[in-house]
Amino acid sequence: HVADGVIVLYYEVFQIFEDGRDHRVDEIAKAVSLPKYKVRKVLDFLAKFGFIEYDGKGAKASPAGIGILSREKSSKFPVFF
């Protein structure tokens, strides 16, 4: 199902931020093998809902996003979906 693939993609991008560091768009694009324009769309979405802080060039996990990523690591079931 197409929607499942989109959710997985957003989740893969979001997981990049579990290290707590800032990440540039080009770095994320390379990590997930997507064009930068698609990565920007994903980052816009994640920022809109408060998962990350994004300035158009780079992004980092927001405090709420860090909380979700921490729970994700300690749970055997995904909490993001």
- For residue 16, pLDDT over 60 is answered with yes
pTM above threshold 0.75: yes
Confidence check: pLDDT of 42 > 90: yes
- How does strand 58-61 pair with strand 52-54? antiparallel
2-74 — its CATH code? 1.10.10.10
- For the chain, which residues make up each domain, given as ranges? 2-74
pLDDT tens digits along 60-73 = 888 788 887 777 66
Q: Which residues pair with 60 in a beta bridge?
A: 53
